[in-house]
Amino acid sequence: MNTKPEVIREGFNIAAYNTMGISATSRFFAEVDTLEELKEVLAFARDQHLPMYFLGGGSNVLFVDDYDGLLIRMNIKGKEIQNENDDHLLLKAGAGENWHELVMYCVEKGWGGIENLSLIPGSTGAAPIQNIGAYGVELDQVFVSLEAIEVSTGERRTFSKEECRFGYRDSIFKNELKGEYVICSVVLRLQKHPEITPSYKALTNALAEKGISKPTIRDISNTVIEIRESKLPDPSKIGNTGSFFKNPVISKDQFHTLQKEYPEIPHYPAGDEIKIPAAWLIDQCGWKGKRFGDAGVHKMQALVIVNYGNATGPEIWDLANKIQHSVQQKFGIALTPEVNIIG
């Protein structure tokens, strides 16, 4: 029988550990800084048959109830070049590295590949979970592999890019292997002489406005940061989890039917299907800027649900359900949360 490791705390309020600022209690909570600590904590939880959930920065989770198990916050740090040649290098980063700080580190060194992903909140270990993406780049474009520990056995396993089965805001860790592995480190392939061809319209427009025709990775990063700061609420000032829903992908037939009724409907190709901005659908249903107590829809961004102060998890979730329902009624489209719902 494993005794309770010192890092485990009981009856822990996690309001400061989720960017929505939801006040909820976790029966057990541990912040782990090393692999050894993680293994000890996993062994204890297995012994006690405790449910476990992993947290990085808590920027993509919504707690709708207290958590009757062990929450493990991954804080394992470290950055190391694994391999390099004249053109590329393989950078291994610990799961607990703050993602934006990692991007800044790479920009500082002149290593290209993740500059478009500047200012995405959260940890490096969570980045593969939903294959983070922004401004025309997704993690899988630079991803090489990750190391994880199987929760049920404590065994280490390396996952290749193919094994992660990345998709749009998706990976095997949100599906078949949900909750079965904890990611400890990630390896990225970065360019030493970055070739930059920004194709994302908002980004190219913003660069053009600044008179930048041959952007460096620092130009890209700075511009992405400026756009994001002008558009998205800062979670340190107002609770939110960024985009609450994924952009739905619908069949061409369904799209053409909708387009007859709504000729202005924005859309983008997505393989053989069509992607519709969820923000537009939600806005059309009249949700932008609506507030119910402390739960609301951001006044500038219909896709962002916010906590103005003391909203509870169930209040936020209830609002999300109402939004889903109205979009379903008006457009016949089911919105899926991008955020991980716990409880």
Site residue total, ligand FAD (CB under 6 A): 32
- Report how far residue 309's alpha carbon sits from residue 300's, in angstroms, rounded to the nearest whole number: 18
252 token code pair: 């061409």
Mapped onto helix, strand or coil, the DSSP state of residue 60 is coil
Q: Which helix (H) or strand (E) holds 243?
A: strand 239-243
CB of 241 to ligand FAD, least distance (A): 5
Q: Which of 14, 114, 127, 137 binds ligand FAD (CB under 6 A)?
A: 127
Considering the complex, state which of residue 153 and residue 257 has its C-beta at the smaller distance from ligand FAD.
Answer: 153
Instruction: Report whether 266 contacts 280 (CB < 8 A).
Output: yes
Among 5, 21, 57, 296, binds ligand FAD (CB under 6 A): 57
User: Counting contacts by CB under 6 A, is residue 54 touching ligand FAD?
Assistant: yes
Per-residue x/- track, 157-186, ligand FAD (CB under 6 A): -------------------------xx---
Angstrom distance (rounded) from CA 79 to CA 184: 12
The torsion of the CA quartet 256, 257, 261, 263, rounded to 10 degrees, works out to 0
Out of 97, 147, 315, 338, the active site residue is 338
As a whole number of angstroms, the distance between CA 335 and CA 219 comes to 35
Q: Which of 113, 235, 296, 337 binds ligand FAD (CB under 6 A)?
A: 235
Q: How far apart are CA 94 and CA 77, in angstroms?
A: 5
CB closer to ligand FAD, 248 vs 258: 248
Sole binder of ligand FAD in the list 123, 145, 171, 301 (CB under 6 A): 123
Interaction between residue 215 and ligand FAD (CB under 6 A): no
The reply to whether 10 belongs to the active site is no
Pattern of binders to ligand FAD over 22-41, x per CB under 6 A?
A: --------------------
CA 2 to chain centre: 34
Residue 139: closest CA among 96, 93, 177: 93
DSSP 8-state secondary structure symbol assigned to residue 15? G
| 242 contributes a contact to ligand FAD by CB under 6 A | yes
- Is 103 an interacting residue with respect to ligand FAD (CB under 6 A)? no
Does 316 participate in binding ligand FAD (rule CB under 6 A)? no
CB 340 within 8 Å of CB 19 = no
Single residue of 45, 172, 206, 232 touching ligand FAD by CB under 6 A? 232
Helix/strand/coil for 51? coil
Residues of the shown chain interacting with ligand FAD in the complex, contacts defined by CB under 6 A? 19, 53-61, 74, 95, 120-123, 125-127, 129-130, 132-134, 182-183, 232, 235, 240-242, 340
